[in-house]
Amino acid sequence: MLEIIQIPVLNDNYIYLIHEAESAETAVIDPAIAEPVIKVLVEKCWSLSYIFNTHHHYDHVDGNLQLKQLTGCKVIGSKTDFQRIPGLDIALSHGEQISLGSQKFEIIATPGHTLGHIVFYNAENQLLFCGDTLFSLGCGRLFEGTAEQMWTSLEKLMALPDFTKIYCAHEYTLNNGRFALTLEADSSDLQKRVAEVVKLRQQNQPTIPSYIGLEKATNPFLRPHSSKIRNVIGAKQGESNASVFAKIRQLKNQFN
């Protein structure tokens, strides 16, 4: 059994603490800063076993060294990012696993946002900690990888069970929803979802976690096959999903 605590930090980041009760092992996902993590660890009387890093950006790793020094935890990250993740102890590749007590987390390589981006998938509980690859109603910018790489990465995540919970690293859903409505304005599923998101944010509540199935139904970045989206962006007949995805990403880059 896993207990998950969601910690909002900075302007819009989420850090996640996951605790496996039987073993008393605890991991933190993408600690942007250390202090809020330490506070929760003290409150819960948990000791930190691991840091799981999805990628090397500062707002995901800046707490690594302080937490490692204080707790002696091990830092887990991508083998591709061996030189870029502070304090990295265990470098993993696609298809490998890491254990938190009795719980297994599969490493899925998702290049696109960065070349070394990985996500952590727990099949037993259908949990996905996906960093900046997949957002609620969105996806990460392409800072290092290509649109084709990102689309391939997103296809991997779309193949997971629909009830898989998505724990992404940022609260971007409201803005993402506004953009999605420019592409599928008459989608009742999307309209309903954005209304729920507006209500949650007005109450200062998180919109995360989401679900793979919900994202497939409403997230434009997972819907380049949609005839409505293709018509709105002027896609050519027979244009590949990867090419349409690239155009959606370009439009989002220009959206305010």
The architecture (CATH level 2) of 2-129 comes to: 4-Layer Sandwich (3.60)
* Percent of the chain residues topping a pLDDT of 90: 98
Judged against a pLDDT cut of 90, whether residue 256 lies above it is answered with: no
Type of residue at 169: A
According to the model, what pLDDT value does residue 150 have?
98
According to the model, what pLDDT value does residue 120 have?
98
Length reported for the chain: 256
Cα distance between residue 113 and residue 81, in whole Å: 13
According to the model, what pLDDT value does residue 1 have?
81
Type of residue at 57: H
Q: Who has greater pLDDT, 151 or 256?
A: 151
According to the model, what pLDDT value does residue 160 have?
98
Q: In this structure, are strands 138-139 and 134-135 parallel, antiparallel, or unpaired?
A: antiparallel
According to the model, what pLDDT value does residue 61 have?
98
| pLDDT tens, position by position, 124-162 | 999 999 999 999 999 999 999 999 999 999 999 999 999
| pLDDT tens, position by position, 41-75 | 999 999 999 999 999 999 999 999 999 999 999 99
Tokens in use for 256? 């305010």
Judged against a pLDDT cut of 90, whether residue 220 lies above it is answered with: yes
Dihedral sign for Cα 245, 251, 254, 256, please.
negative
Band (pLDDT 50/70/90 cuts) for residue 17 is very high
Judged against a pLDDT cut of 80, whether residue 2 lies above it is answered with: yes
> What is the reported pTM?
0.96
Rounded average pLDDT over 185-209: 96
Rounded average pLDDT over 13-18: 98
Type of residue at 235: A
Judged against a pLDDT cut of 90, whether residue 99 lies above it is answered with: yes
- Provide the 10 A C-beta neighbour count for residue 72: 10
